[in-house]
Structure 1
Amino acid sequence: MASIKDPHVIDWFRGTMEEIHNKLLVQTSAKISETAVELCQSHKLFLKSAADTCSKKCEDDGTLFETIQTYKKDLEQKTVLMNEKREALSQSLCEVEQKQSQKEDITLKIEKLREEQAKRRDLIVSQHRANKDRLKNLEKAKRIFQEHLGLEIRRTHGEKLQFIFQNVNPASPDNAYTFTMGIKADGSYHIMSSDPVLQSLETLKKRLHETNNISAFLANVRKEFVAQARS
């Protein structure tokens, strides 16, 4: 057996170790190279996949953005349309309230007109009855004065009555003493004129309005005519 101190052994051992180291280095380098290639390929695939994913994500985000913009525009249009409809509805409600108010006003006016019409109807009926009573009194007074005092009553233009007295002045019994009278819309008597003129006619008219006694009025008028004829 050779001694380890033999230089040739040491050189052999060193050479053998270098050879083994070189083989291991080559093997390791090959493995590292293969691994690096695999890692590079894997990295390329990862980068391509990531790029594809990012590209798809960008496309999806673009589509989503366009969809959001479309929804936003649609929402804006719907908001404008809703505001217009709200304004139209508010205006319609205002018009309905105005028409309701006008309807209530018209209803009140109609009710008021009905009440006024009823009052006018009652007043007309009352005036008609009063006029009938006055006409009856006139007819009664006419008969009395025609029979006893020679009174004549004539209907003149404008639905007025002319009262003609005779036998007033004993010296001239055929002389006519007259006055004209009408009936107002409210049923009151309206003494218009007398011939000859009686100074006391206003006093007699006032008394007639107070008493509504046409017979007494005619008698008083005749008395005034008699007194004036004798004076």
Structure 2
Amino acid sequence: MTSITDPSMKDRFTCSLEEIHNNHLKSYAEIIDTISELSHNHRQFVKSAVDTCLKKCKDDKKLFETIQEFKTDLEKKKMALKEKRRAISDMMSEVQEKEMQKEDIILKIQRDKEDQMKRKDLIESQNRANKDRLRNLQKARLVFQDHLGLEIRTIIDKTQMVKGEKLQFIFRNISLSDQDSTYVITMGIKENGSYQIVSSDPVLECLPVLESRLQETNNLPAFLANVRKEFISKARS
């Protein structure tokens, strides 16, 4: 066994320590290089992750802004659609109202046409009735004026009950003592075409009965004959 007091032993020990120390330094250097590389890689990774996150945040922000714009646009479109629906509803109500007015106007026109036809029929009926009365008057004139001295006058008196044109029938040859004395009955025609007795001179109490019979029969000559009889009866009583 080599003695520790051997001078070469010290040198070998020193060399061994230096070799170990150098190995350790080399290992430390490798570790430091590895750590430095890992640290650099980590920084690069962190930087990349941060950049990715920032880009993601930016993209997300832009996406949120786009979504908000879509929501705002959608709300505007909803409001516009709501306004259009309200306008369409108002328009439909107006159309329905006009349709109802149109139906009312059509019904009114139809009623007016019917009323016109009724008035036309009434006028034609009144004209026929007036023609019949005119013929009766002509017959009565021939019978009474030519044979019995009856005078027929046309008068217009707006102060009487029956306004417009009236006829006065003036009877003579009634009184035996005075053949020229006159007995008068005044008649008019109502709006419905019927006869109306306005007055008589002298007054005949039975005149309403004779007028009612005239309305029923529309026989004017017979009415005048009966009036003449009543005047004769009154004159000779």
The answer to whether the superposition gives a TM-score over 0.5 is: yes
- Any residues of structure 2 matched to 1:99-110 within 5 Å, and which? 99-110=98-109
| SS of aligned partner of 1:194 | strand
Structure 2 CA distance for aligned equivalents of residues 7 and 142 of structure 1: 195
| SS of aligned partner of 1:190 | strand
Which amino acid letter does the alignment assign opposite residue 226 of structure 1? I
Provide the residue aligned with 1:172 in structure 2: 178
- Cα shift readout 1:106-162 (whole Å, capped 9, x = no counterpart): 111111111111111111111111111111111111111111111111110021111
Shift of 1:13: 8.6
* Residue 135, structure 1, aligned to residue 134, structure 2: yes
Number of corresponding residues = 227
| SS of aligned partner of 1:178 | strand
Structure 1 CA distance for aligned equivalents of residues 124 and 34 of structure 2: 128
| SS of aligned partner of 1:155 | strand
How large is the RMSD of aligned CA atoms in angstroms? 2.0
Provide the residue aligned with 1:227 in structure 2: 233
Which amino acid letter does the alignment assign opposite residue 201 of structure 1? L
* Residue 200, structure 1, aligned to residue 206, structure 2: yes
Under a length normalisation based on structure 1, what TM-score does the superposition of the two structures give? 0.91
| SS of aligned partner of 2:52 | helix
- Cα shift readout 1:174-211 (whole Å, capped 9, x = no counterpart): 01101111111211111110001000000000110111
Shift of 1:229: 0.2
Provide the residue aligned with 1:121 in structure 2: 120
| SS of aligned partner of 2:142 | helix
Structure 1 CA distance for aligned equivalents of residues 108 and 53 of structure 2: 79
Of the structure 1 ranges 193-202 and 45-54, higher mean CA displacement relative to structure 2 is found in: 45-54
Provide the residue aligned with 1:82 in structure 2: 81
Provide the residue aligned with 2:31 in structure 1: 32
Q: Which runs of 5+ in 1 are unaligned?
A: none
Provide the residue aligned with 1:56 in structure 2: 55
| SS of aligned partner of 1:197 | coil
* Residue 70, structure 1, aligned to residue 69, structure 2: yes
Under a length normalisation based on structure 2, what TM-score does the superposition of the two structures give? 0.88
Identity of aligned residues (%): 54
Which amino acid letter does the alignment assign opposite residue 188 of structure 1? S
- Cα shift readout 1:26-61 (whole Å, capped 9, x = no counterpart): 222222211111111111111111111111112222
- Cα shift readout 1:47-100 (whole Å, capped 9, x = no counterpart): 111111111112222222222222222222222222122111111111111111
| SS of aligned partner of 2:123 | helix
Provide the residue aligned with 1:211 in structure 2: 217
Q: Which runs of 5+ in 2 are unaligned?
A: 157-163
Structure 2 CA distance for aligned equivalents of residues 135 and 181 of structure 1: 13
